[in-house]
Each structure stands twice: as C-alpha cells, then as structure tokens.
Amino acid sequence: MHYEGNIIRPPSEAFSIILQVTVGCSHNKCTFCGTYKGERFRIKPKSIVFEDIDFAARYCKEQHKVFLTDGDALIMPQEQLLEILKRIRERLPWVRRVGLYGNAKSIKIKTLEELKALKEKGLGIVYMGLESGDDVTLKKVRKGVSSRTMIEMGKKVKEAGIKLSITVLLGLAGRERSLVHAEETGRALSAIDPDYVGALSLIILPDTPLGRDYEEGRFTLITPTEMLAELKTMIAHTNLSSGLFHANHASNYLPIKARLPRDKEAVISLIDMALRGEIALKPEWMRAL
C-alpha cells in the first residue's frame, strides 16, 4: 500500500482496509490539530489508488470494511469518488461498508442527489468533526464554519441515507466556556441526531496555535474532573432518537458507551461515581491520540 504523511482513522475503523485517496486536509486551519501541518492537500493519482485496491484484493480478504483517508476524502470530485467506489465493489466484493471523513465544506459541495449516488455505490458512513456546538469556541479554534451550518450538513448526510458519526472534543473551550461548550454541543447533537457520537478529550499538541496559547497562558486546560463534568453536562443536554454515544477513545479519562436515550441516566450515574472518586480515571501516561 502507498501511504504518505500522517494517516489517521476513527477507532471504529481499526480493522478496516485503510485506503489513502487524498493527502492532508482540505481545511487544515484548526488551532488544536497538528496532524497535517505543513502538508499541502492533494488528491492521489487514480493509478496509485487502484493499485492499492488491487493489493487489498490479494491480501485483505479477511477485512470487510474500507476507510478512505486522509482528512477529508469526501471533497474529491464526484466522478473520481464514484470511480473508486466502483473499483472497490468490483475488486473487493466482500467489503460491506466504505467510510470516510467529511467536513461541512465538502458535504455542502455535494448535492443531496450526489450523496445518494455515493450511498448507492457503497459509501456507508461519514465521520464529521463537529468539535463544539458553541460558535464562540468554533471561531476561536478556526473551524471555519458555524454550528448552524454543521447541523444542516449533518442532517443532509442523514437525509441521503448515509450513517453519520460525529466527533466532539471535551476541553476545547477551556475553563471559561466549558459548560457553555457542553450545553451547546448537546444542543447541536440533538438537532443533527447522528447515528454515533464520539467524544474525545483534548490533548494539547506542541507547535500548534492552541499549544502556543497554552504555553503563553492564553488558554487554560481544564482538569480531568472538569472534563468529566463537561461530559456529564453534554450528555444531559443530548437527546438522540437511538444513537450511540461513545467516550472510549484513548484520550478519554473514563471510557463510556451508551445508547441514548435508553442509557442516559445510567451513564450520568456512572460519571457521578467517577466524580466522587469511586471509579479510578485513566492516568495521563495511558492517554493518547
């Protein structure tokens, strides 16, 4: 397989065939992210992508999912993406689902009919980084889009019949707006009603704008206990029809997995136990991106 630069994927794609179709991120301005700094976004040549699909056809017959990287594969021109999905279906007939990252910009570029066409050709899930439902926080971290737009784009993916997984980031607002961030994120999640929510806990990365703000005292990283309180508030304000809310990423202090609304009271009770010190939190040395 031909991989370039940093390759990232959601935890749920750990056992997928990782097929790199783009390099970098089309936005690449978020202050908290250092994954693609210095990397110019580009689409990989079709010949290389097809060669990797042929490699997978020979050596990846036990893997039933494909994940298209990098940071925003959905922004590829429609015909190119359809060609890749068609090739995957032809050469990897045992694959049951194809997933990729999509930001609000790339979802907006696609018409509803185009998204439905991608669904028809095998695209089964889109992972979108909401990060926060608080517009003040989104502006500070240079997300480049409002919560309203992300709500609209999330709904658009759902309307196309594609599964939607939303990522949110605990601690992103710092101490000043922690609970506002939690409440507004819960509001946005409720409006979108995704199939999955993945809550990660902020890890400050050096050589990023947020990292420099932290080092120079302009950003206050909340404590593990405050992150749990933020998580509790976020879940309390999140109303899904039948979505899975995960906080079991390697960055999280307390792994949780809840089906909402069924498990809401139970998971809030679990967080309360952790806040009282009755459940041990993951030590810092075990946390990772």
Residue 4: inside a domain, yes or no? no
Per-residue model confidence as pLDDT tens for the chain (289 residues): 999 988 989 989 999 999 999 999 999 999 999 888 888 899 999 999 999 999 999 999 999 999 999 988 999 999 999 999 999 999 999 999 999 999 999 999 999 999 999 999 999 999 999 999 999 999 999 999 999 999 999 999 999 999 999 999 999 999 999 999 999 999 999 999 999 999 999 999 999 999 999 999 999 999 999 999 999 999 999 999 999 999 877 778 888 899 999 999 999 999 999 999 998 888 876 777 6
Residue 156: inside a domain, yes or no? yes
Residue 282: inside a domain, yes or no? yes
Domain assignment of residue 73, given as a range:
11-286
pTM of the model: 0.94
Residue 204: inside a domain, yes or no? yes
Residue 30: inside a domain, yes or no? yes
pLDDT of residue 254: 87
pLDDT of residue 5: 87
Domains in the chain: how many in total? 1
Residue 280: inside a domain, yes or no? yes
Residue 6: inside a domain, yes or no? no
pLDDT of residue 281: 84
> Residue 40, class by beta-carbon neighbours within 10 Å (0-12 exposed, 13-18 middle, 19+ buried)?
exposed
Residue 142: inside a domain, yes or no? yes
Please tell me the distance from the alpha carbon of residue 85 to that of residue 271, in angstroms, as a whole number.
Answer: 41
pLDDT of residue 268: 96
CATH code at position 120: 3.20.20.70
CB-CB contact of 128 with 102 (8 Å): yes
CA distances from 176 to 145, 223, 226, 230 (A): 21, 13, 12, 12
Residue 196 pairs with which residues in a beta bridge?
165, 244
pLDDT of residue 118: 98
> Residue 180, class by beta-carbon neighbours within 10 Å (0-12 exposed, 13-18 middle, 19+ buried)?
middle
